[in-house]
Amino acid sequence: MADKKYLTTSTGAPVANNQNSVTAGTQGPTLIQDVHLLEKLAHFNRERVPERVVHAKGAGAHGYFEVTNDLTKYTKADFLSEVGKKTDMFIRFSTVAGELGSADTVRDPRGFAVKFYTEEGNYDIVGNNTPIFFIRDAIKFPDFIHTQKRNPQTHLKDPNAVWDFWSLSPESLHQVTYLMGDRGLPATYRHMNGYGSHTFRWTNAEGESVWVKYHFKTDQGVKNLAQEVGNKLAGENPDYHTEDLFNAIDKGEFPSWTLHVQIMPEEDAKTYNINPFDVTKVWPHKDYPLIEVGRMVLNRNPQNYFAEVEQATFSPGNVVPGIGFSPDKMLQGRLFAYADAHRYRVGANHNALPINRSKNEANNYQRDGQMRFDSNGGGSVNYEPNSYGGPKQTPENAQAPLAVHGFADAVPYDDEDYYSQAGDLFRLMSEEERSRVISNIVGAMEPVEKEEIKLRQIEHFYKADPEYGTRIAEGLGLSVPAEVK
Ligand code: HEM
């Protein structure tokens, strides 16, 4: 619109009256010929898209990533190709279980989703502020999330369901310990680390691959909130974290994170004592130390929340040459789930929206679909192969082949050690933090109705560390079952 001073309909016609609807006189009913009124009411009815089924409440910011260390011996990813290279990026932080309007300062993992607009397409790291997860097979994700959301009858949060599921899924113990510890309630989005959590694959120009894990360390330092403070803030300012991020960037206090990786040679994966693709486990830093990659700085707030944050679509499937997937069963499930959610939530052409569009031109033969608002390929040929110079595949950009073996079957993981790393995490805590973890867990488990569930969960805590289990049992007025000791 050339002249922004006058109001128009969405088809550009001037609006004569935006204060009064067209009626039959001062007392008469409204006339259907008031097309401006009809359009205004109808468009308003369609303002919402479905909220994300998880991670609905979030805040986003623009920034850049700058390479500080040469890791070209591990990956040929162009955006990591030279020290000093800068790439625009967008991040969205979120809570997991709450709805779009829910409080920020609740105990919950935080989403940490980064989109790098590289010259070879978008690369998304869709991680959390925890290096691990509750489950390790995608087939359990919908059940797990149902327990975190509202009860189908009461529409209330349901501690019974939460602890029933966790106690029957002991692989969750490590993440439960992490969540109930100090880092389960960050002070702000600026004061928490981010992790890719899964294992990914890097491949260099020679075609050699390594396994990799991502760690974004906050340069602001890790700070957390005491449970009571979080509770109070949830009532007084439910948007506390959203506000903090926006205001910090608005004031020019640009938050930053230093990205590190852990690198595991492919050969090690065959013999390492931890399954490197099990997202409930960390790789101890003494085995695979952190290596610096670069720095991420957030320096620009979105201009429009809906356009840039709500419509942003991140997917672990968005990778670039030099970066690939691992056989992690959770990651594999996510490769389907995200793009599918985006087609449903935002539409088949979501990648053409400004916030999701790649920096380089997307060149393919996908055409049409709802809300195709770009030139839709114009008059260019819409099939391949063709004799008209259309875009062609580039075999040199294939992911490195991965040798696989075994029977196609619904096979469980080959280890049942749910306890060592959870126990290690508990033992790493100071006495003060242990007390807070115990008190957070006891507080969370007290409302559980079935004693059977409490006892089953106490057994898991006890197996991680006898002190851990005993103190929780005492806090709940119960005893560790004799057969567990
Ligand atoms: C959001 C599925 C595990 C981090 C989502 C969404 C879905 C989903 C459907 C909503 C996407 C959208 O509407 O745009 C799953 C499934 C999982 C899984 C099926 C397991 C099989 C994980 C794990 C992490 C994670 C392990 C972290 C390591 C996130 C984040 C978002 C998200 C950060 C929000 C992205 C944004 O800000 O738009 N997940 N998820 N998810 N998930 Fe997962």
Q: How far is CA 304 from CA 311, 342, 345, in A?
A: 10, 19, 18
* Among 137, 174, 198, 338, residue to substitute to test ligand 1 (most atoms within 8 Å of Cβ): 338
Looking at ligand 1, which atom is closest to the CA of residue 112?
33
One-letter amino acid for residue 259 of the chain: L
The CA angle 398-117-253, to the nearest 5 degrees, is 145
**Ligand 1 in reach of 90 Cβ (< 6 A):** no
The pLDDT tens digits for 392-404 are 999 999 989 999 9
Question: In CATH, what class is 22-131+185-358?
Answer: mainly beta
Q: What six digits make up the tokens of 435?
A: 């007390």
The pLDDT tens digits for 407-424 are 999 999 988 999 999 999
Distance (Å, rounded) from C-alpha 473 to C-alpha 454? 8
Cα 9 to middle of ligand 1, angstroms = 38
Q: 3-state DSSP: the chain helix, strand, coil percent, rounded to 5?
A: 35, 15, 50
**Ligand 1 in reach of 57 Cβ (< 6 A):** no
The pLDDT tens digits for 302-330 are 999 999 999 999 999 999 999 999 999 99
Q: What is this structure's pTM?
A: 0.97
Give the per-residue pLDDT at 3: 65
Looking at ligand 1, which atom is closest to the CA of residue 60?
37
Cα 328 to middle of ligand 1, angstroms = 15
Flag whether pLDDT at 1 surpasses 60: no
Are 322 and 78 spatial neighbours (Cβ–Cβ below 8 Å)?
yes
Give the per-residue pLDDT at 449: 96
- Secondary structure (DSSP) of 44-69: HHT-PPPPPSSS-SEEEEEEEEEE-S
**Ligand 1 in reach of 329 Cβ (< 6 A):** no
66 strand-pairing partners: 86, 295
Flag whether pLDDT at 2 surpasses 60: no
Q: What six digits make up the tokens of 399?
A: 């992911």
Domain boundaries along the sequence of the chain: 22-131+185-358
**Ligand 1 in reach of 97 Cβ (< 6 A):** no
Has 123 been labeled as part of a binding site?
no
Rounded to 10 degrees, the C-alpha dihedral 18/23/26/28 comes to: -150
Give the per-residue pLDDT at 307: 98
Nearest CA to ligand 1 atom 18: 334
Cα 463 to middle of ligand 1, angstroms = 30
The pLDDT tens digits for 333-392 are 999 999 999 999 999 999 999 999 999 999 999 999 999 999 999 999 999 999 999 999
**Ligand 1 in reach of 138 Cβ (< 6 A):** yes
- What DSSP designation does 284 have? P
The pLDDT tens digits for 179-231 are 999 999 999 999 999 999 999 999 999 999 999 999 999 999 999 999 999 99
* ipTM greater than cut 0.90: yes
The pLDDT tens digits for 77-109 are 999 999 999 999 999 999 999 999 999 999 999
The CA angle 163-161-314, to the nearest 5 degrees, is 95
Cα 81 to middle of ligand 1, angstroms = 28
Residues 111-130, mean pLDDT to the nearest whole number: 98
